[in-house]
Amino acid sequence: MFSPALLFLGVLCSVANAYNILAFFPLALKSHIKPFQTLLYELARRGHNVTELSSFPPPDGLENYNYIHVPHLFNPVNTVQWRNTSYPTLFGMYHAMCLSEAEKVLTHPDIQSFIQTDQSHFDAIIFEGSFCSESFVALGHKYGAPMINFQPLGYWPTNYFLFGNLQSPASIADYRLLMGTRMNFWHRLDSLWFTVTEFFLTYTSYYPKQEILMDKYFKYRGSNTRPSMMEMLRNISMTFVEHDIAFGLYLNLSVPTLYSLEACT
């Protein structure tokens, strides 16, 4: 069976020299980063030099692994209050949470010190660029390295539009709507309204505000020559999606998918 994750490992492991890889996850929740840390550990075991910046330390004794600890500042809101709200209100609350938490992380002195003063060389940068962290894509410009995006939570139409995928909300409902495949006319109309609302608010409000955060907090030598955030997001080299059929149906033709589901009790 074809495995994008193994392909990713195979490409990196086939080079003659070790890669220097930065995994930049200062905002990630444990449930988001955990499925992907296994890839990072395996890259280190196979001789690559991995630098991970996060709040969740690797196992002891892992060679070729430089761990930079940052305090876990993300404070998720109680999403129960998001239920039974209109779609504009729902997306507005989610965007507000993302912008607030991203700015909280970016203002931390350790993060600012790393962004402004680190002079390391990296051959690839891995980040969670499509969950509250779009502004972090500036690191690709700082280090002149390709960006690899790890995305949790499955299919998000606004994100995949960036990656060149066609959108058909009347045929494939967003998994967050819990509609399944047997959609009647009203289901299809509701799915379309959901997607159009998210697109409008994301592109007219959320992305511009993320770019403001990028311009404010990603200051480094040469940052004045940086392309726009949207241009850099459209040039992400690869995106891996964590998804499982338990979350809902998923169809994406150009993005590798890691089929996994982790549950903690």
Task: Report, as an integer, the average pLDDT of 51-80.
Answer: 84
Is residue 204 scored above 90 in pLDDT? yes
Q: What percent of the chain has pLDDT over 90?
A: 40
Q: Which segments of the chain does DSSP mark as H helices, in order?
A: 4-13, 30-45, 87-106, 109-117, 138-143, 157-162, 185-201, 207-217, 229-234
Give 48 or 12, the one with higher predicted confidence.
48
Predicted pLDDT of residue 180: 67
Instruction: Give the pLDDT score at 1.
Output: 47
Q: What is the pLDDT of residues 111-166, one digit of tens each?
A: 999 999 999 999 999 998 888 899 999 999 999 999 998 877 666 778 777 777 76
Burial of 136: CB neighbours in 10 Å, binned 0-12, 13-18, 19+: buried
CB-based contact 21:125 (threshold 8 Å): yes
3-state secondary structure of 145: coil
pLDDT of residue 175: 72
Average pLDDT over all residues of the chain: 81
Arithmetic mean of pLDDT, 169-194: 80
CA 151 centroid distance within chain: 4
Whether the full predicted model's pTM is greater than 0.95, yes or no, is: no
In order of start, what are the domains of the chain with their CATH numbers?
Answer: 4-259 (3.40.50.2000)
